[in-house]
Amino acid sequence: MTAAYIQNEAEFNQLLESEAVLVVDCTASWCGPCKLIAPLIDQLEEAYRDRAKVFKLDLDENKPVAKRFGIRSIPAVMFFKQGELAETLVGAKPYEEFSGALDKHLA
Q: Which residues are catalytically annotated?
A: 31, 34
State which H helix or E strand residue 103 sits in.
helix 95-106
- In angstroms, the CA 8 to CA 30 distance is 19
